[in-house]
């Protein structure tokens, strides 16, 4: 969770809105928007998939929070729970089922047009962390090491926490 972002912004000042690109000009300044997506990687072998779920502020591109796990509803619900202090009112996602099942349709906008920043963030992560590259000889053998390495990177470069 991005504690620095929460510390510098009052909860009544944070608004999230998910809208289609063509409707973007109708976005209210009172809404808090977030882009959410999941990113595939593996531990040991490609059959042991590990997913990085994260959410970013589309205005600044800052990571708000992230979790690791399977591509299952309970992991998404953990991410959603971490977003509660931000008072999100609009969610931009792709069309994966967990989002449709657990987000209010009035607050949820599906489409690649609205997730360009988070997809760009994926490319940056895949470029900088070889464990996330699709074709690589660099991979983790343990879930714990995988999560630690990526978590340290995110904490250092996204949250400014030097560990």
Distance CA 91, CA 105 (A): 10
Does the structure show a pLDDT above 70 at 18? no
Range of the domain at 59: 3-157
Taking only the tens place, the pLDDT of each residue in 96-116 is 999 999 999 999 999 988 899
**More confident site: 4 or 30:** 4
The answer as to whether 25 is a domain residue is yes
> Residue 36's pLDDT is what?
95
How many domains are contained in the chain? Answer: 1
The answer as to whether 47 is a domain residue is yes
- Return phi, psi of residue 34, to 5°: -150, 140
> Residue 126's pLDDT is what?
84
- How confident is residue 68, by pLDDT bands cut at 50, 70 and 90? very high
**More confident site: 13 or 45:** 45
> Residue 22's pLDDT is what?
42
The answer as to whether 55 is a domain residue is yes
Does the structure show a pLDDT above 60 at 19? no
Does the structure show a pLDDT above 70 at 52? yes
What own/partner pairs with CB < 8 Å and gap ≥ 24 does 41-49 have? 41/131, 41/132, 41/146, 41/150, 42/139, 43/139, 43/140, 43/141, 43/142, 43/143, 43/146, 44/139, 44/140, 44/141, 44/142
DSSP code of 43?
Answer: E
* CATH code assigned at 104: 3.30.420.10
The answer as to whether 114 is a domain residue is yes
The answer as to whether 163 is a domain residue is no
Yes or no: say if 101 and 110 are a contact pair by the CB < 8 Å rule.
no
The answer as to whether 43 is a domain residue is yes
The answer as to whether 23 is a domain residue is yes
Mean pLDDT, all residues of the chain: 84
The answer as to whether 105 is a domain residue is yes
Taking only the tens place, the pLDDT of each residue in 112-136 is 888 999 999 988 888 888 777 767 6
């Amino acid at each position: 969770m991005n504690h620095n972002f929460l510390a510098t912004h009052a909860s009544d000042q944070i608004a999230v809105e998910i809208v289609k690109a063509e409707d973007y000009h109708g976005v209210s300044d009172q809404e808090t928007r977030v882009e959410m997506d999941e990113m595939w990687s593996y531990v040991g072998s490609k059959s042991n998939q590990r997913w990085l779920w994260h959410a970013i502020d589309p205005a600044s591109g800052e990571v708000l929070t992230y979790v690791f796990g399977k591509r299952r509803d309970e992991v998404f619900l953990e991410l959603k729970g971490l977003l509660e202090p931000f008072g999100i009112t609009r969610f931009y996602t792709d069309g994966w089922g967990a989002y449709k099942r657990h987000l209010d349709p009035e607050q949820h906008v599906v489409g690649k047009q609205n997730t360009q920043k988070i997809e760009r963030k994926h490319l940056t992560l895949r470029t900088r962390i070889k464990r996330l590259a699709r074709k690589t000889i660099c991979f983790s053998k343990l879930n714990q090491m995988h999560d630690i390495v990526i978590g340290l990177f995110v904490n250092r470069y996204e949250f400014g926490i030097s560990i």
